[in-house]
Structure 1
Amino acid sequence: MRYAKCIIIPDDEGLHPVDKRIADHPEVSRELLHNVNLLADETIVTIYQFAGDREALETILEDSPMVCKYQLSGVGDEIHAYIHVEAHERLVGLLSMLKEFEFIFDTPLEFTRRGGLRVTMIGDVQSFQEAIPDVPDGIRLKLLKTGKYEPNTDRLFSQLTERQQEILQTAVDMGYYNVPRAVTHEDIGNELGCTGGTVGGHLRKIESKILAQIIP
């Protein structure tokens, strides 16, 4: 079993009008896409993870005629959202193409800082190469790497946001988790151009998320 890791890069119109409206809002940040499913009637159900202003997100969803229904949950500025949206040619075309070539997403899918979607697709890599010409107009696939798929490989790390991954990787590289500890939050912040308090806050969220996954 093989995988292809790539970035889905939409043009300025985005993957779907609802997703585009959310992406353009300054007080809401798309973090992860935990699930996306094309239904028989070509409507689409998704489970997102957002950060930011819950009221702003609710306003977007309430005002959009393409939202069939939604439910929000979460604590603080972390928001989990079930969103059922109307069919849209571009996203339906992409999901139909992936279904035709029998790809399976390894979730969650991660939004990049530039608005792309980093995904790992499991299946036949040869089929992936054959599928590229069928990608809908306005969407580009950037292949990052391929390899043998091992379940759970990188799964915990992939659940972190891009910024959290950067901070954790820097902390490990600089020796924050060495015994004895080699650097402080402030040292890591100086390396990344942020405050020690910001680093500490991110590391606490990272540790909480990872420990919750591994402790029975």
Structure 2
Amino acid sequence: MRSIDLVLGLPESMQLPVPASVSTAAVVREELLSWQIHEETDVVCFLSLVIGEMDPIQTAVDDLDVVHRSDFTVVDDDTFYIYAEMDVRAVDRRLWSAIDRRAILVPPIVYTDDGTLQLTILGDEEALSRTMNRVPDEITVNVTRVGEHRHSIASLAGRLTHRQFEALTVARDLGYYEVPRKTALSDVASELDCSESAASTLLRKGERTLVNAALGN
């Protein structure tokens, strides 16, 4: 089986409207774990795992006209599940209709705080090629991997704390994991506004969690 990893940049017209009162920093990461579209009612039911601030996100979801029902379940201080039932919008259909009938989306689909959408599509080469050709022109597409499918289906958001996720993201963005390393631990600590010891602990705990996840522990 072959699969392709994509990072999609959605135009504002394809994004859910967010009230001005809700900070864009409220959502760090959302992993869409499962979904089902009811064609007879044009309603999609979905379950997501979110890292972020639950209260402002819940307020924003409650204010969306397209959402008929929602339920929030706390995992820890900054991680929670959302179950929601909402209308399938025309822009949603344009995006998802690009997926070839012989290809499938592999969960989770990841929404990040920079407005991008990360997803994996599985299928034969022809199905993957047709899918790429059908992506609407206004969506930017970055292919990050193509090859045999060996992904493990597992949620990382539920394994990392918000602070660990933030620390790993900062370290990566600053080049801490480049070879050779492009930044020092002190720079990571400065960006996180904490001591070098605290930054090191966050990184080591986060790295341990990711290694255990990769090795199936």
TM-score, normalised with respect to structure 2: 0.71
Distance apart, 1:147 and its partner CA: 0.4
Residue 168 of structure 2 is matched in structure 1 by 164
Cα RMSD (Å) of the superposition?
3.7
Paired amino acid for 2:37: L
1:189-208 map, 5 Å: 189-191=186-188, 193-194=191-192, 195=194, 196=196, 197-201=198-202, 203-204=204-205, 207=208
Distance apart, 1:22 and its partner CA: 7.6
Residue 27 of structure 2 is matched in structure 1 by 29
Q: Distance in 1 between matches of 2:44 and 2:141?
A: 21
Length, aligned pairs only: 199
1:64 aligns with 2:61: no
Change (3 A) 1:141 1:210: same
Distance apart, 1:105 and its partner CA: 2.2
Distance apart, 1:151 and its partner CA: 4.5
Distance apart, 1:107 and its partner CA: 2.1
Distance apart, 1:63 and its partner CA: 1.5
Distance apart, 1:190 and its partner CA: 2.6
Higher helix fraction: Structure 1 or Structure 2?
1
Q: Distance in 2 between matches of 1:93 and 1:170?
A: 39
Residue 124 of structure 2 is matched in structure 1 by 124
Distance apart, 1:96 and its partner CA: 2.7
SS, match of residue 13 in structure 2: coil
Q: Distance in 1 between matches of 2:211 and 2:76?
A: 17
Change (3 A) 1:189 1:105: farther
Distance apart, 1:126 and its partner CA: 2.3
Residue 11 of structure 1 is matched in structure 2 by 11
Residue 42 of structure 2 is matched in structure 1 by 42
Contact 1:45 1:85 in 2 (8 A): yes
Contact 2:122 2:128 in 1 (8 A): no
SS, match of residue 129 in structure 1: helix
Change (3 A) 1:212 1:72: farther
Residue 134 of structure 1 is matched in structure 2 by 134
Q: Distance in 1 between matches of 2:178 and 2:137?
A: 41
Higher strand fraction: Structure 1 or Structure 2?
2
Contact 1:112 1:162 in 2 (8 A): no
SS, match of residue 152 in structure 2: coil
Contact 1:36 1:44 in 2 (8 A): yes
Residue 86 of structure 2 is matched in structure 1 by 85
SS, match of residue 55 in structure 1: helix
Contact 1:22 1:28 in 2 (8 A): no
Question: Alpha-carbon deviations, 1:166-215, whole Å to 9, x = none?
Answer: 6489479799xxxxxxxxxxx63535743332453464356457658944
Q: Which segments of 5 or more consecutive residues in structure 1 lack a partner in the other structure?
A: 176-186
Contact 2:30 2:49 in 1 (8 A): yes
Distance apart, 1:162 and its partner CA: 7.8
Residue 107 of structure 1 is matched in structure 2 by 107
Q: Distance in 1 between matches of 2:81 and 2:98?
A: 27
